[in-house]
Structure 1
Amino acid sequence: MTARRALVVRGGWDGHRPVEATDLFLPFLADNGFEVRVEDSNEIYADREEMDRTDLIVQSVTMSEISNEALTGLRGAVERGTGLAGWHGGIADSYRNSSDYLQLVGGQFATHPAKHPDAREGGEADNFLCYTVDLTDLGREHEIMTGVEDFTLRTEQYWVLTDDLNDVLATTTHPVQPFHPWHRPITSPAVWTRQWGKGRVFVATPGHSLVVLRDTSVRTIIERGMLWASRTASE
């Protein structure tokens, strides 16, 4: 049997620990029959030959930029059947200057609401809130979420701008707080899948730190999401 090929692209903002975070999942990919190539530049997306033999792209590139050639290559690869998967800012807060990337992925980080102003100390923990990831009815029936129940995290709670092409498997709700300017609870997707041409896209918004990525529910969802997104031999 020919091994599937996974391409891990990592870089961007160091705060999301792109090297250490993706390293957590490299053994899983290898154990599931993938030959893995790791790149620290998204320019690999412009290599049509490499993209056509790639079954799964795992991206962890927060913010940063992407060239027109690389973006065209990425979109084309997914449309032809290459899977795209990622978590947190590495996929949902990438390439803010590109609306075409946003359309491909189907969701863009907008903010992560912070604690009460009086409780903020000036560090990243100011943005760590306790929140629940709630499975949708669709999620409870989906292979990625089998056996996973609603779960609680203490980390950044992503507010995501999105569209109706996504199949949302889990959500999280931002409550109304007197120190915030919104006036009703806002529900954002926390886990979703998306069909793009012949390809599949998987996104999970939890994953700010290695601690979160090691959470049993988060890690299970990401591992299954990568397998789900990957092109299979029958495709």
Structure 2
Amino acid sequence: MREALIVWGGWSGHEPEQGAKIVAAMLEEEGFKTYVEATTEAFADPAIADMSLIVPIYTMSKIEKEELDNLNRAVQGGVGLAGYHGGMGDAFRDAVEYQFMVGGQWVAHPGNIIDYTVEVTRPDDPIMAGIPASFPYRSEQYYMHVDPSNEVLATTRFTGEHASWIDGVVMPVVWKRRHGLGRVFYSSLGHVASEFDVPEMRTILKRGLLWAARPAA
């Protein structure tokens, strides 16, 4: 049986505990045994190297060096890392090694909660199969600093309405990458738990979690 560790905490506005419960249920539906923890100390446990998947849902906050080093070794050794929105893409702002694993870091969401469009760039990828070529979304439109080595699956375009100098900028929304032997998946969709009710958001994230997870031995 594949095992997944979900670690939630940090800024409460992203509803991390609710998100952790939803993600755990999604994975359990796929036959995973899940462990849900509410402290970064969970990343320091050597046993995470035997996990199939790790899901951080931990906006901002701090991670200790020994915790990050152990997490980094686990992912480089083949454990999958996957997550969404600020829970993964705005965690541990001062930890550049963490950002290197994730492949990006949130820096702004001009206009806060707004209507925008997500464009699928890789309809041939199994994670995006059957997802509309473009779909409307209402949430924070994440402006991120991103790694050029990411394999981008979906993007969004900024209009400049809320920050004129970024008019026309195309920003990755969904990507996957490798970190050592580990698979890494990220989606910037999912500001609050109610967004899991959006079929595109839920489907993309669930498929990404499964893609990142290391196969059973």
Shorter-chain TM-score bucket reads: over 0.9
Does 2:179 correspond to 1:192?
no
Q: What is the aligned partner in structure 2 of residue 117 from structure 1?
A: none
2:105 partner amino acid: Q
Q: What is the aligned partner in structure 2 of residue 130 from structure 1?
A: 115
1:155 partner amino acid: S
Greater gyration radius:
1
Gaps of 5+ in 2: none
CA distance in 2, matches of 1:184, 1:37: 43
CA distance in 2, matches of 1:161, 1:97: 14
Runs of 4+ in 1 over 6 A off after TM superposition: none
CA distance in 2, matches of 1:52, 1:161: 28
Q: What is the aligned partner in structure 2 of residue 156 from structure 1?
A: 140
Q: What is the aligned partner in structure 2 of residue 7 from structure 1?
A: 5
Identity %, equivalent residues: 41
SS of equivalent to 1:140? coil
Q: Is the 8 A contact 1:10 1:22 kept in 2?
A: yes
Gaps of 5+ in 1: 115-126
1:9 partner amino acid: V
Matched ranges for 1:43-122 at <5 A: 43-48=41-46, 50-114=47-111
SS of equivalent to 1:226? helix
What root-mean-square deviation, in Å, do the aligned CA atoms of Structure 1 and Structure 2 show?
1.2
TM-score, L = length of structure 1: 0.89
Q: 1:222 aligns with which of 193, 200, 205?
A: 205
Q: CA deviation at 1:26?
A: 1.8
Q: CA deviation at 1:184?
A: 3.7
CA distance in 1, matches of 2:202, 2:192: 12
**Number of matched pairs:** 216
SS of equivalent to 2:211? helix
CA distance in 2, matches of 1:131, 1:223: 22
CA distance in 2, matches of 1:175, 1:184: 5
Give a deviation string over 1:158-193, Cα, whole Å, max 9, x none: 00111211000000111123x625154111110000
1:13 partner amino acid: W
2:155 partner amino acid: T
Q: CA deviation at 1:109?
A: 0.3
Q: Is the 8 A contact 1:206 1:213 kept in 2?
A: no
TM-score, L = length of structure 2: 0.96
CA distance in 1, matches of 2:48, 2:34: 13
Distance 1:72 1:180, change over 3 A: same
CA distance in 2, matches of 1:22, 1:223: 13
Q: CA deviation at 1:58?
A: 1.1
CA distance in 1, matches of 2:167, 2:22: 38
CA distance in 1, matches of 2:45, 2:23: 24
Q: What is the aligned partner in structure 2 of residue 124 from structure 1?
A: none
CA distance in 1, matches of 2:78, 2:149: 17
Give a deviation string over 1:136-178, Cα, whole Å, max 9, x none: 1xx211111110012111111000111211000000111123x
